[in-house]
Amino acid sequence: MIKFNKETLTELAGLGAGAAGSAYVKQKLLTKEDGTSVFGASTSAGILTDAAPAVLGLLLQGQKGFIKEAGKGMIAESIGSIIKKQFPTLGLAGYDMPLMGVDNMPPVNADATPLMGFSGDSYDYTAGDAGEINY
């Protein structure tokens, strides 16, 4: 059962504020006007820019209440940003995997029975005169 009370609301608000605070620190304090990091232009400088708010989050995590949760939010956003930039294939952005049954999936080989849902033609069944599907 989900427990929703004042403490839960404080935790959620703290996590959100910490994530926003982490992004603010990176954008306003650790990034120059030309978009480069204050640590330089190397790959390690980008990692330092993303990791710096996590250090501040670790300091805040030792506190109590809202501030503690804000520290956790800063750590989570900072680590998530590092993962997103260093391992872009882990995320869903830009990943285009065809689903089973779409018309453009070829059969396994020419002599085999086609895969389920493969029609083999290029007719657009969704382009009706009134925007309706043609059967």
Q: What is the pLDDT along the chain (135 residues), one digit of tens a residue?
A: 677 788 888 888 999 999 999 988 888 888 888 878 888 877 788 888 888 899 999 999 889 889 999 999 999 999 988 888 887 776 555 545 545 444 555 555 555 555 555 555 555 556 555 555 555
Sort 3 into a burial class: Cβ within 10 Å, 0-12 / 13-18 / 19+. exposed
Q: Which two tokens stand for residue 47?
A: 């990692």
DSSP-based three-state secondary structure for 92:
coil
Q: pTM for the full model?
A: 0.60
DSSP-based three-state secondary structure for 90:
helix
Buried b (16+ CB within 10 A) or exposed e, 82-96: beeeeeeeeeeeeee
pLDDT of amino acid 93: 52
Domain map (residue ranges) of the chain: 6-90, 100-135
